[in-house]
């Protein structure tokens, strides 16, 4: 059965207001930007979710007021924007329901979800304000369906009395948004380079949207199953979206678009300029192909990585 559809169809069918959403990728690597843009275009909102190591993906959702509650561990376009600016501004102004966990905690929570565990015992965050201070109070938590009423619960290790551990809730993910290098119509995915938490959220989510650089046949992707990491049955929609992670990186395909990330860095300094950026690059752009046309062929070609180096560079300027 083919799950191939357009990005517009995938988002309207599988993303709903109020969803618990988790996005794949890592800060400026393999972030599914094209799908985020489409979610914004369709006006979807009230999301609850975990950032994982987030960047512009969650910053866009926050800046466009689409987030009801955000479990944060790190939000930055590292190396360009050291702290994502809408994230920072919204939190500083008290406009964002946000909880802080350590990155290890959130990544293990997503992994625990993939394993179907009822809760997660850890020794992380002990002795710190990550436990002592709750970003979202119990009262507010009780008003948000998709958030557990407690940030965490202390417990005694049942196998080692006296050993204090922290029990964390396991997220119940509605929708996972992932960008991969190759997928086939039945949903089988091949991720090149680090998978990050993407396989975990594909397994754990009720619905999973995959965008891919290359759409290959079901037979072709099975020629070397050792390269495949997501089972077709975990995926609901497959969308062919070349450069779908732009302006972030995609291993073996393209580097981050530093100039674009810098443009976003400057634009996101104020809400007004941020909104103008969103109008120009998201709302006034009909779809992903119009976005690629706007970026231009030569700009995209220059982002292609040099095989062997793993990044893009102008070889005529490399040291001889």
Asked if residue 168 lies in contact with residue 109, where contact means CB atoms within 8 angstroms, the answer is yes
Q: Does 260 bind another protein (CB under 8 A)?
A: no
Which residue carries 């997928």 as its tokens?
A: 183
Interface pick for another protein out of 9, 43, 117, 123 (rule CB under 8 A): 123
Q: Decide if residue 155 touches another protein (CB under 8 A).
A: no
Are 156 and 185 in contact, with CB atoms under 8 Å apart?
Answer: no
Rule CB under 8 A: is residue 255 a binding residue for another protein? yes
The CA distance from 181 to 174, in Å, is 23
CB 90 within 8 A of CB 62: yes
Residue 241, CA distances (Å) to 126, 178, 249, 296 in order: 43, 11, 14, 16
Which range in 24-32, 172-180, 217-225, 277-285 contacts another protein by CB under 8 A?
24-32
Alpha helices in 76-192 (DSSP H): 85-92, 103-115, 129-132, 138-143
101 binds another protein (CB under 8 A): yes
Does the protein bind another protein through residue 165 (CB under 8 A)?
yes
3-class SS of residue 241: coil
270 binds another protein (CB under 8 A): no
Listed ranges 3-11, 278-286, 287-295, 304-312: which one lies at the site for another protein (CB under 8 A): 304-312
Among 66, 68, 88, 207, the residue binding another protein under the rule CB under 8 A is 88
Piece of 4-12, 172-180, 215-223, 305-313 that binds another protein (CB under 8 A): 305-313
The verdict on 82 binding another protein (CB under 8 A) reads yes
Binding part of the chain for another protein, among 120-128, 175-183, 201-209, 239-247 by CB under 8 A, reads: 120-128
Residue list 169-198, contact with another protein (CB under 8 A) = 193-197
Report which of 34, 40, 78 is spatially closest to residue 62, judged by C-alpha positions.
40
The least CB distance from residue 60 to another protein, in Å, is 16
The b-or-e profile of 28-66 (16+ CB within 10 A means b, else e) is: bbbbbbbbbbbbbbeebbebbbbbbbbbbbbbbbbbbeb
Q: Are 204 and 117 in contact (CB under 8 A)?
A: no
CA pseudo-torsion sign 266, 271, 276, 279: positive
Cβ closest to another protein, residue 10 vs residue 165: 165
Q: Tell whether residue 80 is a contact of another protein (CB under 8 A).
A: yes
Per CB under 8 A, the list member of 1, 116, 118, 129 interacting with another protein is 129
41: closest CA among 62, 18, 64? 64
Exactly one of 7, 10, 44, 107 binds another protein (CB under 8 A); that residue is 107
Q: Is 84 in the site for another protein (CB under 8 A)?
A: yes
Alpha carbons 68 and 156: distance in angstroms, whole number:
33
Q: Is 313 in the site for another protein (CB under 8 A)?
A: yes
Judged by CB under 8 A, which of 8, 42, 65, 103 binds another protein? 103
Please give the full DSSP string across 178-197, using - where no structure is assigned.
Answer: EEEEEE-TT--EE--S--TT
Does residue 288 touch another protein according to CB under 8 A? no
- Interacting residues toward another protein by CB under 8 A: 25-29, 53, 72-76, 78-80, 82-84, 87-88, 91-92, 94, 100-105, 107-108, 111, 123-130, 132-133, 135, 163-165, 193-197, 199-200, 249, 251, 255-256, 305, 309-311, 313
């Amino acid at each position: 059965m083919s799950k191939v559809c357009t990005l517009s169809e995938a988002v309207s069918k599988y993303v709903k207001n109020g969803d618990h959403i988790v996005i794949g990728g890592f800060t400026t690597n393999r972030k599914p930007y094209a799908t985020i843009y489409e979610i914004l275009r369709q006006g979807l909102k009230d999301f609850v979710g975990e950032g994982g190591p987030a960047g512009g993906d969650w910053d866009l959702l926050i800046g466009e007021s689409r987030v009801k509650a955000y479990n944060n561990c790190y939000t930055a376009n590292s190396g360009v924007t050291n702290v994502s600016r809408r994230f920072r501004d919204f939190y500083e102004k008290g406009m964002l329901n946000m909880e802080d966990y350590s990155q290890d905690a959130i990544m293990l929570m997503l992994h625990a979800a993939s394993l179907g565990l009822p809760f997660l015992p850890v020794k992380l965050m002990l002795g710190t304000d990550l436990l002592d201070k709750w970003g979202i109070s119990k009262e507010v938590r009780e008003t948000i369906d998709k958030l557990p009423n407690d940030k965490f619960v202390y417990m005694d290790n049942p196998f080692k009395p006296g050993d204090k551990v922290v029990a964390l809730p396991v997220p119940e993910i509605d929708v996972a948004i992932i960008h991969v290098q190759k997928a086939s119509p039945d949903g089988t995915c091949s991720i090149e380079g680090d998978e990050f938490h993407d396989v975990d959220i594909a397994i754990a989510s009720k619905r999973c949207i995959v965008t891919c650089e290359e759409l290959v046949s079901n037979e072709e992707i099975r020629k070397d199953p050792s390269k495949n990491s997501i089972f077709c049955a975990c995926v609901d929609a497959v969308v062919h979206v070349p450069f779908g992670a732009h302006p972030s990186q995609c291993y073996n395909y393209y580097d981050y678009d530093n100039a674009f990330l810098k443009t976003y860095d400057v634009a996101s300094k104020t809400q007004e300029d941020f909104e103008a950026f969103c109008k120009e690059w998201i709302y006034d752009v009909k779809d992903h192909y119009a976005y690629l046309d706007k970026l231009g062929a030569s700009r995209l070609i220059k982002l292609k990585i040099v095989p062997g180096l793993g990044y893009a560079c102008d070889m005529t300027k490399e040291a001889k």
